[in-house]
């Protein structure tokens, strides 16, 4: 069979031909264990795709997917893409109120999900009467969906793969929404292949690696790379509920050699290993990202994970990977840290990406003539990071305003993505992260970066459990600097903190000490939700 050049499903076809009996996905949930080989996965995707086409799914049609990480998710996702459709993947962490809105926003032709997800269709009239609805559970008289997942697998596939062009959409995924309403990133076939190549180059795998990916895109990357994925047995809606004893058992039983997950995932696993005096000798590499990683986390990880290589990855939904740095390099930089070095080092940019820092601007940027209008004044000045490359999403589905706000198209018609992060490049070309654009506090016409304030507080008062810096509107100063502190079990003197921070160059206007947990992002359970925190302060729910 002659495979088309750009459809990502061709990689699965090659894997099924080359390693038919190799396990593609291993799933263990609530005591149940299932697995599927590459050949079996290809056959089921072929059948599923044929069923979609028989029900009039055509190239470009969008199909909503509400299935957690599982064998069924990848059968459905790749079945849609194989037929030329566009899979609209809804992460489980997204709030219920937003889900129906996102689904409707995508103007889908179909909806495929677990049984209870179909009840969400009742909230939107556009979703109630969709021509194609499929449930992974049982269906009776068209309820909760017209067809069952298993009935689609009974169709006879013909092995054909839609011949996709590089700019044809394949997958829509949503951003975390840390800077506002989540946006639907348009992942084309060309983008997915470029991302696969970038990940393969930056993080090479060994032929016999077995990976545990917490993120759906990394499992998709594993399928393309002919690697086994062991899906972690966890509640993907709430990372805080990860049970490390179950994860440890999974890793040992399945001989896991590499793992990719959020920092909190490895915090919980390392704490368990330390408490139980256990090791994971087969685990050769860890990739982690999604939130800033503190030095004390790295110290604990090194103690617990032995010789395992730990790499901190920096990126976003629209651009992954952007840069990365090893644990040892980060720790070495921390030890030689000087007053002129601030923030968290993310390493040098990936080889397939171009990056630059421009002046901070919270408004949309319409490119004017040349880059000199946007350059920061001096080397190591803090600005906004922008990136471009083949694995950087150029637009968002049906969201022109988001494109205007988050993209810059230069004079050469090159699209640059605004990462939404502030930072600077040091003299060796490494990027240092200092905060987010939307959390930058403009006090008396001077920029203060929330992450730097938080980092300075934590370094000078290590007993503090959690700290967040936020700007509050002020008629005279524009914004005032407020820091909100979870003290843990320790007694703190606000005046002492205020004076010391002011002496260090941060004019703190007010301090709130609270036992209320500070709100964090739903995806990684680590990044402060500044918008929600500000609302809690304004409504006196945190005082």
Q: Please report which helix (H) or strand (E) contains residue 373, including its range.
A: none
In the 3-class helix/strand/coil scheme, how is 164-230 assigned residue by residue?
Answer: CCCCCEEEEEECCCCCCCCCEEEEEHHHHHHHHHHHHHHCCCCCCCEEEECCHHHHHHHHHCCCEEE
What fold characterizes domain 232-331? Rossmann fold (3.40.50)
Q: What is the pTM of this model?
A: 0.91
Tell me how far apart the alpha carbons of residues 32 and 427 are, in angstroms, rounded to a whole number: 53
pLDDT at 93: 62
Matching residue, tokens 């979609």 = 52
Higher-pLDDT residue of 331, 181: 331
**CATH 2.40.50.140 corresponds to the domain 353-438:** no
DSSP string, 395-461: -BTT-HHHHHHHEEE-TT--EEEEEEEEEEE-TTS-EEEEEESTT-EEETTEEE-HHHHHHHHHHH-
Condensed to tens digits (0 to 9), the pLDDT of residues 193-218 reads 999 999 999 999 999 999 999 999 99
Is residue 128 very low, low, confident or very high in pLDDT (cuts 50, 70, 90)? confident
Q: Which is more confident, 294 or 382?
A: 382
Residue 421: predicted pLDDT: 95
Where do we find the tokens 């060994």? Answer: 206
Mean pLDDT of the chain, nearest integer: 91
Asked whether 409 and 366 are in contact (CB, 8 A), the reply is no
Q: Per-domain residue ranges for the chain? A: 9-191, 232-331, 353-438, 439-538
What fold, for 9-191?
Rossmann fold (3.40.50)
Distance CA 222, CA 217 (A): 9
Q: Rounded to 5 degrees, what are φ and ψ at 428?
A: -95, 5
Burial label, 284 (beta-carbon count in 10 A; 0-12, 13-18, 19+): middle
Taking Cα atoms as reference points, which of 294, 292, 295, 234 lies closest to residue 265?
234
Task: Retrieve residue 143's tokens.
Answer: 């309820």
**pLDDT at residue 384 is higher than 90:** yes
Q: How crowded is residue 352: how many other Cβ atoms within 10 Å of its Cβ?
A: 17
Average pLDDT of the segment spanning 250-277: 96
Same fold: 9-191 with 439-538: no
Q: How far apart are CA 365 and CA 447, in angstroms?
A: 19
Under the phi-then-psi rule, with left for phi > 0, alpha for psi from -120 to 50, and beta for the rest, what region is 150?
A: alpha
Provide the pLDDT for residue 492: 84
pLDDT at 100: 67
- Stretch (H or E) spanning 82: helix 71-82
Report the pLDDT value the prediction gives residue 105, as an integer from 0 to 100: 72
What was the pLDDT predicted at 3? 46
C-alpha to C-alpha distance for 128 and 131, rounded to whole angstroms = 9
Percent of the chain clearing pLDDT 70 (strictly above): 95
In this prediction, residue 19 carries a pLDDT of 97
Token pair of 321 as six digits: 């990977």
Determine the pLDDT at residue 340: 57
Contact 94, 183 (CB under 8 A): no
| Cα 402 from Cα 182, distance rounded (Å) | 10
List, for residues 267-277, the tens digit of each pLDDT value. Answer: 999 999 999 99
In whole angstroms, what is the distance from residue 441 CA to residue 449 CA?
6
Q: What percent of the chain has pLDDT over 90?
A: 73
In sequence order, which ranges of 95-206 are alpha helices (DSSP H)? Answer: 96-105, 125-128, 149-152, 189-202
172 strand-pairing partners: 88, 186
Spatial contact of 421 and 450, defined as CB atoms under 8 Å apart: no
pLDDT band at 135, cuts 50/70/90?
Answer: very high
Indicate whether 70 pLDDT > 50: yes
Question: Does the N-terminal peptide bond of residue 93 adopt cis geometry, omega within 30 degrees of 0?
Answer: no
Among 76, 134, 127, 73, smallest CA distance to 100 is for 127
Q: Is 246 exposed, middle or buried (0-12, 13-18, 19+ CB in 10 A)?
A: middle
Structure tokens at 297: 């986390």
Most confident of the ranges 113-127, 348-362, 452-466, 481-495: 348-362
Residue 392: exposure state from Cβ atoms within 10 A (0-12, 13-18, ≥19): buried
Peptide bond into 144 cis (omega under 30): yes
* Chosen CATH of 439-538 out of 3.20.20.70, 3.40.50.720, 3.30.300.30, 3.30.365.10: 3.30.300.30
Run of H or E including 495: helix 494-503
Q: What does the alpha-carbon distance between residue 75 and residue 240 come to, in Å, rounded to a whole number?
A: 28
Q: Are 296 and 303 in contact (CB under 8 A)?
A: no
Name the least confident of 13-22, 245-254, 383-392, 510-519: 510-519
| pLDDT band for position 1 (cuts 50, 70, 90) | very low
From the CB of residue 515, how many other CB atoms can be counted at a distance below 10 Å? 9
Q: pLDDT at position 338, please?
A: 57
How many residues belong to the chain?
Answer: 543
């Amino acid at each position: 069979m002659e495979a088309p050049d750009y459809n990502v499903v061709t990689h699965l076809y090659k894997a099924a031909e080359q390693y038919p009996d190799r396990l593609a996905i291993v799933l263990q949930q609530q005591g149940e264990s299932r697995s599927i080989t590459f050949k079996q996965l290809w056959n089921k995707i072929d059948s599923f795709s044929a069923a979609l086409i028989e029900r009039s799914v055509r190239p470009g049609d969008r199909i909503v997917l509400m299935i957690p990480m599982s064998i069924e998710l990848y059968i459905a996702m790749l079945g849609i893409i194989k037929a030329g459709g566009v899979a609209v993947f809804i992460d489980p962490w997204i709030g219920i109120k937003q889900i129906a809105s996102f689904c409707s926003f995508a103007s889908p032709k179909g909806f495929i999900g677990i049984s209870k997800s179909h009840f969400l269709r009742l909230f939107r009239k556009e979703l109630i009467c969709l021509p194609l609805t499929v449930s992974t559970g049982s269906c009776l008289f068209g309820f909760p969906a017209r067809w069952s997942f298993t009935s689609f697998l009974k169709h006879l596939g013909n092995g054909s793969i839609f011949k996709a062009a590089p700019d044809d959409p394949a997958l829509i995924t949503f951003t975390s929404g840390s800077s506002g309403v989540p946006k639907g990133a348009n992942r084309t076939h060309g983008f997915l292949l470029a991302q696969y190549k970038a990940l393969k180059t930056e993080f090479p795998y060994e032929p016999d690696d077995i990976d545990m990916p917490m993120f759906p895109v990394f499992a998709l990357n594993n399928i393309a790379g002919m690697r086994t994925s062991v899906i972690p047995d966890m509640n993907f809606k709430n990372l805080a509920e990860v049970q490390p004893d179950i994860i440890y058992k999974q890793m040992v039983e399945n001989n896991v050699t590499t793992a990719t997950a959020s920092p909190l995932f490895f915090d919980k696993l390392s704490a368990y290993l330390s408490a139980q005096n256990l090791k994971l000798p087969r685990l050769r590499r860890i990739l982690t990202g999604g939130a800033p990683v503190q030095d004390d986390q790295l110290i604990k990880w090194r103690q617990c994970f032995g010789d395992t290589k730990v790499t901190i990855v920096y990126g976003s939904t629209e651009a992954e990977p952007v840069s990365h740095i090893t644990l040892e390099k980060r720790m070495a930089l921390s030890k030689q840290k000087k007053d002129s070095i601030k923030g968290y080092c993310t390493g040098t940019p990936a080889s397939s990406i171009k990056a630059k820092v421009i002046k901070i601007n919270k408004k949309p940027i319409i490119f004017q003539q040349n880059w000199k209008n946007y350059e920061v004044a001096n080397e190591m000045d803090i600005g906004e990071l922008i990136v471009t490359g083949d694995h950087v999403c150029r637009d968002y589905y049906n969201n022109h305003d988001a494109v205007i706000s988050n993209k810059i198209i230069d004079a050469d018609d090159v699209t640059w993505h605004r990462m939404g992060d502030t930072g600077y490049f040091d003299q060796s070309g490494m990027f240092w992260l200092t905060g987010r654009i939307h959390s930058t506090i403009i006090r008396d016409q001077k920029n203060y970066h929330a992450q730097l304030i938080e980092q300075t507080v934590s370094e000078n008062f290590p007993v503090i459990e959690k700290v967040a810096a936020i700007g509050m509107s002020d008629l005279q100063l524009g914004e005032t600097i407020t820091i909100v502190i979870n003290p843990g079990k320790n007694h703190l003197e606000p005046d002492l903190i205020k004076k010391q921070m002011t002496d260090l160059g941060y004019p703190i206007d007010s301090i709130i000490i609270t036992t209320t947990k500070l709100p964090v992002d739903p995806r990684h359970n680590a990044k402060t939700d500044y918008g929600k925190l500000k609302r809690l302060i304004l409504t006196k729910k945190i005082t």
